[in-house]
Amino acid sequence: MERSFIARNPSILIFLACLAGFTLIVTMLSESFGAGIIGTSFLKTLGKTLCLCLVAIAMDLVWGYCGILSLGHFAFFGLGGYMIGMWLMFERTKGIVMTSLAEADIPPTPQEIQDAIGTQIFGVVGGSDIPWVWAFADSLTLQLALVIIIPGLLALIFGWLAFRSRVTGVYLSILTQAMTLALSLYLFQNESGLRGNNGLSGLQNVPGWEAIPQSTVSLWMFWASALALGLGYVLVAWIVSGKFGSVVRGIRDDEARVRFLGYSVEGYKLFIFTVTAIIAAIAGTLYYPQAGIINPGEIATSASIYLAVWVAIGGRARIYGAVIGAALVSLLSTWFTGGQAPNVPLGFYTIQWVDWWLVLLGLSFVFVTLFAPKGIGGLVDKFAKGEAK
């Protein structure tokens, strides 16, 4: 322990410098502070991308370093979004309701306020009672605590069950995928108390910030996302460095051997699984206020596989690889599916990227797994080695 943690991992400083520089540039180009070249919606896209990078880091930790191909981390991401979404929607509705009730000559009773909020939020699913899951929705502190507690607890219980019975490899992947499907189907029901397939909406309006223009709110959310990404990066880098990280990598490479050496493999796996679930949930908490809406479709099983693919394309077991993969693929997806990419006329047929992007993406997964198993990070390695020689 002669050298400090940062000194042993110079890449952290490089990454943080890049992130800070990027944030600064975006801030200067944004509408509310600078040139106004970056519009509010693009600023939101960038902010969302940073959140996706954060969840990709979590995925990299659990898969790239610990060897658990979880197909459920986007479910934790979505859960985090639901938790913050409940507060955003409840408080905002409360504000609207209070304004309208304040016009009456008699002040409302607590019961009347509750009834009005219930009708406002649950009218679409044919109800007016506020379900018990919303019990803490009026408190930001408690709801933020739930962001950590609910996904953390779910990951803890699920992981404990799965690791205890030595479910590994592809079986674990299928099991986590089943968990995601179950959660998504559960949220699709109106009985879940989270507005069924309508999901939670209007999340971009942060209660208390009504007077502040969206361009400024978006910038603040962007900063928060950048800060969270930076902290997440340092946290994950710290976890994988040192002895703990070596054990984690050992589990990935040969679980049985690590177990025979006397380490509690299940404990390590459970810790990594739970911590990454919480990181994913935090990323979701920052993502959905920028997206504005969350519904159970977001938690579809394919979303979690995409997450794994981002990490694979970026390069596993390289934290910066996860960031590059997530940023590249999600931004490209936005570009292609947003209809901004130029169509390719072939004479007899015009390739419209809105229709063909998924085909291209799917095939590129195949190419990456076949020909570049180390992803983009592998190219960086080659480049770095070339420099050293």
Partner 1 sequence: MARIFLATLTMTLMLLFGALSATAQSPTIQSILQENEAIIAKSSRKTIEPAIDAIRDSGLSGARDVLEKWQAKELWQRKDDKQFFFARANEDKTYTLIDIETGADVEAVEKNTLKQIKPNSGIRAMIGAALVQFQLLADDPLVRSESLDAIQRDPNATHLPALRGAIDGETDPAIKERKERLLRLLTVQFETDPALRIDAIESLRGDLGVDARAALNPILATTRVAAIDRPDGNPAAPLTVGKDLTEDEAYDLLVAADLALPVPTAAEMRAALSDNIVGGKVGGIPTSQLNTEENRTAAYAALAEAGAVPFFIDAAEKSAAVAAHSYFDTYIETNADVTTAAADVLDAINLKVGASTALDLGLDALSLASIFFLAAIGLAITFGVMGVINMAHGEFIMLGAYTGYVVQQFITNYTVSIIVALPLAFAVTFAAGVLMERLVIRHLYNRPLETLLATFGISIALQQLAKNIFGTQARPLTSPGWLDGALVFNDVVAISYIRIAIFVLALIFLALFLFIMKRTRLGLEVRAVTQNPRMAASMGINPDKINMMTFGLGSGIAGIAGVAIGLFAKVTSELGSDYIVQSFMTVVVGGVGNIWGTLAGATMIGFLQKGIEWMNPGNTLAAQTFMIIFIIIFIQFRPKGIIALKGRAAGD
Footprint of partner 1 (CB under 8 A) = 69, 104-112, 158, 161-162, 164-167, 169-171, 173-175, 177-179, 181-182, 185-186, 188-189, 191, 301-302, 305, 308-309, 312, 355-356, 358-359, 361-366, 369-370, 373
| Contact indicator for 290, 85 with CB cutoff of 8 Å | no
Cβ 154 to partner 1 shortest distance, Å: 12
User: Residue 33 or residue 171: which is nearer to partner 1 going by CB?
Assistant: 171
Nearest approach, Cβ of residue 377 and partner 1 (Å)? 15
For residue 176, the minimal CB distance to partner 1 (Å) is 10
Closest CA to 232 of 95, 100, 305, 326: 326
Instruction: Pick the closer one to partner 1 by CB: 264 or 369.
Output: 369
CB of 105 to partner 1, least distance (A): 5
Residues 6+ apart with CB under 8 A from 255: 67, 168, 265
Task: Specify the residue, 24 or 174, whose C-beta has the smaller distance to partner 1.
Answer: 174
Q: What are 255's two structure tokens?
A: 């679980």
Q: CA separation (Å) from 157 to 38, 66, 80, 263? A: 43, 18, 17, 21
> How near is the Cβ of 274 to partner 1 at its closest, in Å?
17
The residue (of 140 and 181) whose beta carbon lies closer to partner 1 is 181
Name the residue nearer to partner 1 (CB basis): 23 or 173.
173
| Helices marked H in the chain | 5-8, 10-29, 40-59, 73-102, 110-122, 140-164, 169-188, 214-240, 242-253, 255-260, 265-291, 301-314, 319-337, 353-371, 375-388
In angstroms, give the least distance from the CB of 372 to partner 1: 11
Inter-residue contact 90 to 134 (CB < 8 Å)? yes
d(CA 276, CA 151): 10
Per this entry, what is the length of the chain?
389
Give the whole-angstrom CA distance, residue 69 versus residue 53: 17
Nearer to partner 1, 196 or 284 (CB): 196
CA 209 to chain centre: 24
69 vs 237 by CB, closer to partner 1: 69
CB of residue 123 vs partner 1: minimum separation in angstroms? 18
| Residue (277 or 308) nearer to partner 1, CB | 308
Work out how close the CB of 27 gets to partner 1 at its nearest, in angstroms, rounded to a whole number: 36
Closest separation in Å from C-beta 57 to partner 1? 18
Q: How far is the CB of 206 from partner 1 (least distance, A)?
A: 27
Which contiguous run of DSSP H or E holds residue 294?
strand 293-294
What's the rounded Cα separation, in Å, for the pair 298 and 154? 18
DSSP letter (8 states) at residue 60: I
CB nearer partner 1, residue 108 or residue 292: 108
Residue nearer to partner 1 on the CB measure, 19 or 277: 277
CA dihedral (291, 301, 362, 340) in degrees, to 10, reads -20
Residue 64's nearest CA partner among 309, 362, 379 is 309
- Give the single-character DSSP code of 214: H
**Cβ neighbours of residue 172 under 8 Å, at least 6 residues apart?**
68, 69, 70, 162
